[in-house]
Amino acid sequence: MFSNFDFGVIPLSLPFIWQGLLYSLKLTATAMTGGIILGTLLALARLSGGVVLGTISTFYVNTLRSIPLLMVILWFFFLIPIFTGSPMGAEKSAMITFTLFEAAFYAEIMRAGIQSVSRGQINAGYAIGMTYWQTMGHVILPQAFRNMLPVLLTQTIILFQDTSLVYAIGAKDLLKAAEITGKNYNRPVEMYIFSAVVYFAICFSLSMLVKHLNKRIAIIR
């Protein structure tokens, strides 16, 4: 079945693939960090009770969640040059896109997390004289974050898989690197299989970690 396959191409292409994987990981890490920070702010805005802030945040989250990520990637890639006047590289454009897009998803997770902390905790914070930001920063958010850790991680696994979509604008991630080396060595089939294996190995081990975390958190509670 694999008789006419030549997997000897894989060691040859490793350095290039590694560069691609590094970009995928960097994109994931950037979008995760930025997305969680921005998402938390969006969640706080939505829960603040303020009409203007709440409406803006709800609109932002709902809009981005109902559009395919691929379209969002294209939007940013084509729109940024129109606004700034000069083209931005696909790699950089993807960083911005993913951060802003993932923020919408992390926001919903953080909102659920904040709502999972009992109301009395906020009152307790105020009662001992803390300001809003102190209450959030020292009392509510640490608990919300911890409760939602497995869900945040699961979202990050999805985010890592979604980084492969930068293919559409030609950024050199793991998949693109595999495709390029596959073409160069004329072994595209082997390289596609290899990229699938790498994605699987990373996502599967992360999902095992989530399972483990879920158990630990369940015991502590």
Partner 1 sequence: MNYHWNWGIFFQQVSSSDDTYLDWIITGLGWTVAVAMSAWVIALVLGSIMGTLRTVQSKPLVMVGTVWVELFRNVPILVQLFIWFFVVPELLPRDLSLWVKQDMPGKEFFTATLALGLFTSARVAEQVRAGIQSLSRGQRYAGLALGFTEAQTYRYVILPMAFRFIIPPLTSEFMNAFKNSAVAFAIGVMDLTFISRQMVEESGQVIESLLAATVLYVICAMAANRVMSFIEKRSHVPGFILAK
In the complex with partner 1, which residue's Cβ is closer, 72 or 139? Answer: 72
In the complex with partner 1, which residue's Cβ is closer, 145 or 192? Answer: 192
* Shortest Å distance, C-beta 23 to partner 1: 15
In the complex with partner 1, which residue's Cβ is closer, 132 or 204? Answer: 204
* Shortest Å distance, C-beta 74 to partner 1: 6
- List, as own/partner pairs, every contact residues 18-22 make where C-beta atoms lie below 8 angstroms and the sequence separation is at least 24, other chains included: 19/172, 19/177, 20/172, 20/173, 20/174, 20/175, 20/176, 20/177, 20/178, 21/173, 21/174, 21/177, 21/198
In the complex with partner 1, which residue's Cβ is closer, 51 or 83? Answer: 83
Q: Nearest CA to 190 among 16, 4, 5?
A: 5
Q: Nearest CA to 153 among 219, 106, 197?
A: 106
46 within 8 A of 62, measured Cβ to Cβ: no
* Shortest Å distance, C-beta 66 to partner 1: 5
In the complex with partner 1, which residue's Cβ is closer, 67 or 127? Answer: 67
* Shortest Å distance, C-beta 144 to partner 1: 22
Binding site for partner 1 (CB under 8 A): 1-2, 5, 66-71, 74-75, 78-79, 82-83, 157, 161-162, 164-165, 167-168, 175, 179, 188-189, 192-193, 195-196, 199-200, 203-204, 207
Q: Nearest CA to 141 among 187, 106, 97, 94?
A: 106
In the complex with partner 1, which residue's Cβ is closer, 37 or 201? Answer: 201
Q: Is 149 exposed, middle or buried (0-12, 13-18, 19+ CB in 10 A)?
A: middle
* Shortest Å distance, C-beta 123 to partner 1: 28
Structure tokens belonging to residue 44: 């706080």
Helix (H, G, I), strand (E, B) or coil at 1: coil
Helix (H, G, I), strand (E, B) or coil at 153: helix
* Shortest Å distance, C-beta 182 to partner 1: 9
